[in-house]
Amino acid sequence: MKYSGWPEPGELVVGKIDEIEDFGVFVDLEEYQDKRGLIHISEVASGWIKNVRDHVREGQIAVCKVLDVDESHEQIDLSLKDVNDHQRSDKIQEWKNEQKADNWMEIAFGEDIADEEYIAIANELLGAYGTLYDGFKQAAIHGDEALEDTDLDDDERDAIVETARENVSVPYVNVTGYVDLENPSPSGVDGIRSALEAAEGNGEIPEGVELDVTYVGAPEYRIKVRAPNYKTAESVLEASAERAIGAIEAEGGDGEYHRQRRTDDE
């Protein structure tokens, strides 16, 4: 995806060096549609420069700082020397992430997706998370809930979530669910306690998974799961709720699992 507008002064941009002249370097901006900038020789490197080609080469991918933008003359002034190693590394990683996300968009909606549809969907993700990559990442971690504040329709949300879960690597995911436990039987509180112990797995939780069950407000209890991937997290969450419900029903009580909180905020 390439932006149709103009970069802002001070912004870091990724470009491919297209043409080298004695007075400077022309750069095609990789993130902006049909935009080209100039790095004056004085902005290529610090100190005196005898030959520009000693510092850059044609076809090189470079991270530049935008110094000035003159839209009326379609001129973008860039600096190479004002970008430090840390900024360069972070910007290149961000650019690579957006290339991945662009590929995920094609997986989710097909290579033949119309430009207008692509832009509309992309703008929803950009508006919610700032980048396409972060939009897909949050969809992989939180599922459909991550897209609740967008205007995407159900089919678009499903396509993004499905693609994200298949392609996005995240260090861990957190999922949350709730279980209502009521026990009017003689076992009362003890029966509830047994159901909660069952929900916690009685010490038999898979390696690399964290499970926490906490009281929210009668009769609701929160189940939080932290796991290496969404599939594992959801499986552990549902199994925890099922154990709790099975245990409370064995005591003569009732249990119900749901994903959204029902009690008032604490």
- Model pLDDT, residue 266: 44
How many Å apart are CA 91 and CA 62, to the nearest integer?
Answer: 10
pLDDT confidence tier of residue 232, bands split at 50, 70 and 90: confident
Burial of 64 (0-12, 13-18, 19+ CB in 10 A): buried
Mean pLDDT comparison of 49-63, 140-154, 219-233, highest-scoring range: 49-63
Tokens standing for residue 205:
């939780």
What is the phi/psi pair of residue 223, to 5°?
A: -115, 120
Query: Does residue 123 register a pLDDT over 90?
Result: yes
- Amino acid at site 245: I
Tens-digit pLDDT profile for residues 7-27? 999 999 999 999 999 999 999
Q: Are 146 and 121 in contact (CB under 8 A)?
A: no
Q: What's the pLDDT at 156?
A: 96
Residue 201 · residue 211 · CB < 8 Å: yes
Higher pLDDT: 264 or 97? It is: 97
Read off the pLDDT of residues 87-99 as tens digits, 9 standing for 90 and up: 999 999 999 999 9
Give the phi and the psi of residue 172 in degrees, each rounded to 5: -170, 165
Determine the Cα–Cα distance for residues 142 and 165; give it in Å rounded to an integer: 10
Question: Model pTM?
Answer: 0.64
In the predicted structure, residue 134 carries a pLDDT above the cut 80: yes
| Band of pLDDT at residue 263, cut at 50, 70 and 90 | low
Looking at residue 174, what is its pLDDT? 86
Task: Please tell me the total number of residues recorded for the chain in this structure.
Answer: 266
